[in-house]
Structure 1
Amino acid sequence: MQIWIDADACPKVAKELIFKFAHKRNLQVVMVAGQSQIKPIYQWVSLIVVPTGMDAADDYLVEHAKANDLVICSDIPLADRLIKKQVAVLHPKGNEFTQENMSQTLAMRNLFTELREQGQITSQQASYGAKDKQNFANALDRLLTRLAAK
């Protein structure tokens, strides 16, 4: 099992938790980004900067992540593609994307996109708070435990 991070959009706090959990469980972490990132000095963390282009990082993740790997991402269409490959996917706020919730998640995303495009709602990203950090840590621990048992 390997942990992959869609690094461009992942909050720094979530990345730090991933590194901590991965070190504790002796797992490799691969950060995939479309732009340069600061890579931690840990030998078990690697950084791959993909060529710029529409969905280049997403395409790299889908191509390289394997069944029973874990990808941390907030991109719902990317999560859908990964789930179809039997890859576990976790949002940095602690929500696991699954076969069971993906249809509803995609529908909600599409609805909000449409409402934003019509100007009926504004797009404001909520800050990453202490509750998000705790939810993510709990979900990450549960998911890594479950994947290790496979």
Structure 2
Amino acid sequence: MHIWVDADACPKVIRDILFRAAERTRTELTMVANHPLPLPGSTLIKQLQVPKGFDVADDEIVARLQPGDILITADIPLAAEALEKGARVLSPRGEPFDKSTIRAKLTMRDFMDTMRSSGVHTGGPPSLNQADRQAFANLLDQLLR
């Protein structure tokens, strides 16, 4: 098992939870981003820096994922691809993605994208709060057991 993180938009507080969990469970973790990230000094935690560009990090993650790996991402299309490869997927808000719900999430994402491109202001997600952090940490622990 390996933890992969779509790290370009992963909140620092979530990265910190991931770093502690990787050390505690002795699980390899790779942060994939198009810019350098501060990492703790650990042989288990690495960064894969990819060139800037549309979906470059996503494509690299999908190419490296193995069945049973864990992916942390808020990117719904990436989550769908990871699920197809047999990975377990979790959003930084502690929301699990699974094969039974991913199509509905993709449909809603596409609908919201259409609304935004037609000029409707849909707003962004609310700020990450303590309940989100706790939900993430709890589900991550379950996945690592």
TM-score interval, smaller chain? over 0.9
SS of residue in 2 equivalent to 1:99: coil
Deviation at 1:20, TM superposition (A): 1.1
The more displaced of 57-66 and 135-144 is: 135-144
Q: Is the 8 A contact 1:116 1:123 kept in 2?
A: no
SS of residue in 2 equivalent to 1:89: strand
TM-score normalised by L of structure 1: 0.92
Residue in 1 that maps onto 2:34: 34
TM-score normalised by L of structure 2: 0.95
Question: Aligned partners of 1:108, 1:124: CA distance in 2, in Å?
Answer: 14
Residue in 2 that maps onto 1:148: none
Asked if 1:90 is matched to 2:87, the reply is no
Deviation at 1:122, TM superposition (A): 3.2
Deviation at 1:16, TM superposition (A): 0.7
Residue in 1 that maps onto 2:70: 70
**Moved segments of 4+, more than 6 Å:** none
Aligned residues: 145
Partner AA of 2:117 in structure 1: E
Residue in 1 that maps onto 2:134: 134
Where does the alignment leave 5 or more consecutive residues of structure 2 unmatched?
Answer: none
Asked if 1:104 is matched to 2:104, the reply is yes
Where does the alignment leave 5 or more consecutive residues of structure 1 unmatched?
Answer: 146-150
Residue in 2 that maps onto 1:9: 9
CA RMSD of aligned residues (A): 1.1
